[in-house]
Amino acid sequence: MAGKKVQKNRVALSGMKKKMASLKKYLPVFEKQRAALNRMLQDEETIYHKLAIERQKLLDSIDPWIALFNDVEVDVSEFIRLKAVNISKENIFGTTVPCFDSVEFDEFQIDFHFYPFWIEEGIAAVKNVVETDARLRVSKERMDAIRRGYEQANQKVNLFDKKLIPETEEAIREIKTALDAQGVAAIVIAKSAKKLQERKSAA
């Protein structure tokens, strides 16, 4: 193993074999995690693009309402104001990912003695745009979080597959080669000792 001297004995060999078994056990887990996060990222990218298209359509659809509001000199904020964007969290393979729940508005009474009835419908159209904006922002945050999780999983796969497992395999080969050499040397020494003993006995 690079940068680390490997002990050449049976205890070290047993330890390396256990390490290899552990590495091969967890590598498929990280590979599945990476694949799952990649699918999730692709799905979320599709959702984001659909929301972006929907948002543009909504913006186009409220242009007539904006013109009507301007005609009667109505400030939409007099009747509606964004109060909160409610977001929950979910844990995906150790990565915290936001989830859009809802939007809340502060709404104010409309006096239809002074304002036309269509204002209520116009305000509903504006609310749709605001909610879609919120969904779009959360979808972007989800993509960013999932992408970070994917990159972390990918780093683990590469670490195991390209560094830890090859290094451990090499260490096992080195130890086995050293043990084989030690075994051969022991046989040679034993045979030499036996011949020496036989010669002494013959003399």
For 102-106, which contacts have Cβ atoms below 8 Å and span 24 or more sequence positions? 103/127, 103/130, 103/131, 103/134, 105/80, 105/81, 105/130, 106/80, 106/81, 106/82
User: Looking at the domain assignment, is residue 140 inside a domain?
Assistant: yes
Taking only the tens place, the pLDDT of each residue in 95-153 is 899 999 999 998 777 776 777 777 788 888 888 989 999 999 999 999 999 999 999 99
Taking only the tens place, the pLDDT of each residue in 64-83 is 777 766 666 666 667 788 89
User: Looking at the domain assignment, is residue 73 inside a domain?
Assistant: yes
Residue 132, CB-side half-sphere exposure with 13 Å CA sphere: 19
| Per-residue tokens: 16 | 């390396």
User: Looking at the domain assignment, is residue 4 inside a domain?
Assistant: no
pLDDT at 11 over 70: yes
CATH number of the domain that residue 149 is part of = 1.10.287.3240
User: Looking at the domain assignment, is residue 1 inside a domain?
Assistant: no
Mean pLDDT for 17-43 is 93
Query: pLDDT category, 12, cuts 50, 70, 90?
Result: confident
For residue 149, give its domain range.
10-195
Q: Distances from the Cα of 78 to the Cαs of 13, 68, 82, 156, 182, in angstroms?
A: 77, 15, 12, 54, 90
Pinpoint the alpha helices (H) of the chain: 10-71, 118-159, 165-202
User: Looking at the domain assignment, is residue 49 inside a domain?
Assistant: yes
Total count of domains within the chain: 1
pLDDT at 4 over 90: no
- Considering the entire predicted model, what is its pTM? 0.75
User: Looking at the domain assignment, is residue 65 inside a domain?
Assistant: yes
Mean pLDDT for 197-201 is 60
